[in-house]
Amino acid sequence: MTEGEIIVGNDVWIGSNAVILPNCEIGEGVIVAAGAVVTSNINSYSVVGGVPAKLIKKREIIKN
């Protein structure tokens, strides 16, 4: 086993049974689907899912 840091941004939703491997950074506003396995960095405002996690779509950024 190797140690590593996991960085999770603000307003991130992580579904149940999702796995995030070491040395991954998850940007702000990301949604990780249930059961997904995150093996690499995820850009902000993305929706990812699968094994390994892949981009499903980009979320629209709405500012007030």
What does the pLDDT read at residue 61? 81
| Rounded distance between C-alpha atoms, residue 53 and residue 18, angstroms | 10
pLDDT at residue 63 greater than cutoff 80: no
| Rounded distance between C-alpha atoms, residue 39 and residue 54, angstroms | 9
Res. 18 pLDDT band, cuts 50 70 90:
very high
Q: Indicate the average pLDDT of the chain.
A: 94
26-57 residue pLDDT tens = 999 999 999 999 999 999 999 999 999 999 99
pLDDT at residue 1 greater than cutoff 70: no
Task: Report the predicted TM-score, pTM, of the whole model to 2 decimal places.
Answer: 0.88
